[in-house]
Chains A and B, each alone.
Chain A
Amino acid sequence: MNNKFDALQIEDSGEEDVGDTGFRPAPKPGPGEHPLQFNYSIWFSRRTPGNKTAAYDQSLKFIASFASVEQFWSVYSHLVRPSEMSGHSDYHLFKEGIRPMWEDDANKHGGKWIIRLKKGLASRCWENLILAMLGEQFMAVEEICGAVVSIRHQDDILSLWNRTASDTATTTRIRDTLKRVLHLPPNTIMEYKTHTDSIKDNSSFRNTDKFIR
């Protein structure tokens, strides 16, 4: 077992820049592992202090891909929890092949649900959100693109991206599942924003459509 990982780690000499995005495909699930419906990739981004205009895609770093429940845990256990991240930082967990960008082919007609959380809740809510996504609890197999946790100054924000913003039946079902898996109280404000609107105002979380149930 160790030999396999030693071999794979030859390239990983602790360098941050692995050229382009550094994307590496997920290993095939080994014997005894539980395969996931989709392979996923986890990415990290952080806004450089004092440089608000730095291109987002420059700050985006590919961390790892995984194909099984066990591979997910081995990656997740080697990452700090979202609430322990400093500054203006995000984790992005997307299906392998979908870049966490509005402009990606899988995202360009899509949008996202946004949930703003008080400080202190992000780590647990993020875990509940991604476990529901990896376990296919959203009943929207092809529609889910990925999830993001954004650590910000005032509050922390969870987002769940889906492929087709105009498909209200699906987005409503996703919203209801979100409420269930995150244990959101009934009067929680949920916000939806299409990626075309985000591209127009160059903002992830301003000018959203608000829904209260």
Chain B
Amino acid sequence: MSAPESEKQQSKVRDIPIRRVVLNDISQLPSEYSSTPGGTFFSTTPGGTRIVYDRSFLMKCRNSPLAKSPPANMLNIPGITSPAKNVEENGDAQDIKEEGDKNEKVSAEDAQFEMDI
């Protein structure tokens, strides 16, 4: 397998992109083997790109300010949906934050969760 000399010269050397994450405490290590500190980032594979996220990364995104924006153009079904109305922004953000806190506690219990069917 030898490519013509001209083609060989076209390929360039590039650094592998890296990102350093500093851990200050052992508790910052993810609990799952498949996770990396700082979150599992989506990656591409040759011949087919698949965007994979594990549960803990998805849960972490829940607290992102972007995730707390009112949903764009969501249907209103009384009793099912509660789209953000034109209320004071502060009050609304407060509600969502409380819900987020509650859910964090739930996820913290998940490790011990065993189902009884």
Contacts and interface: CB of A to CB of B under 8 A. Distances in A.
Contacts of B78: 16
B11 interface: no
A74 interface: yes
Contact of B74 (A63, A128, A135, A188): A63
B74 A78 contact: yes
For chain B, what secondary structure do more than half of its interface residues adopt (helix, strand, loop), or is it mixed? loop
A61 interface: yes
Interface in B56-88: 57-59, 61-62, 64, 66-84
A117 B117 contact: yes
Given A77-B96, A117-B117, A141 B50 contact: yes
Contacts of A8: 72-73
Contact of B42 (A24, A34, A137): A34
Instruction: Give the interface residue-count category, chain B.
Output: 35 or more
A135 B58 contact: yes
Instruction: Give the interface residue-count category, chain A.
Output: 35 or more
Contact of B62 (A9, A73, A89): A73
Contacts of B75: 12, 16, 18, 22, 61-64
Contacts of A37: 50-52
Contacts of B59: 131
A155 B76 CA distance: 27
Given A5-B70, A184-B115, A78 B64 contact: no
B114 interface: yes
B113 interface: yes
Interface of B: 42, 48, 50-55, 57-59, 61-62, 64, 66-84, 96, 99-100, 106, 113-117
Given A5-B69, A134-B53, 4 more contacts: A63-B74, A77-B62, A80-B80, A137-B54
